[in-house]
Amino acid sequence: MQKTDNLANMNENKVCIHMGQFQDSDVLRVSSELDAKQLDLEFDDLIYLSSLNIEGEAAKSRDVITVKVAVKAKLEKKCSRCLELFQEDLDHSFKFREEIGQRMEVDITDHLRESLLLLREQKCLCSDDCDTSKLWNQNN
């Protein structure tokens, strides 16, 4: 059996899964948008040009919830080599498992934030063949 539910509490910029929506083997649709700035995901070299679009499903099995979501957004990055700004699409899937215990809701916002931070490249390039000649030409 499948139910559909918008599981986000947008006022708090969170994605929460409410246990009251589940029967024992139900699957719920997860659909939400989050503000990357409120989640502190932006840096000098990485700006989110759009909200985080989150789509997926949550399944409950006894005392464990499994959440599979795809996160999409439009990014602006600064090349580590030539310092040019360029745009890139984020499209990544995540899977989380968590014990429910006696909780009536599971907040997966921190899981999403941590996973997105781990995806962040320490040094990114605008292209594979980028060189510093662009920067040299700008400064001369």
Please write the tens of the pLDDT for every residue from 40-52.
998 989 999 999 9
The rounded distance, in Å, linking the Cα atoms of 42 and 123 is: 15
Taking the C-alpha atoms of residue 131 and residue 136, their distance in angstroms, rounded to an integer, is 10
The pLDDT tens digits of the residues spanning 77-116 come to: 999 988 999 999 999 999 999 998 888 888 999 999 999 9
Ranges assigned E (strand) in 7-140: 8-9, 14-18, 27-34, 46-48, 52-61, 64-78, 85-99, 105-107
Kindly tell me if the per-residue pLDDT of 135 is higher than 70. no
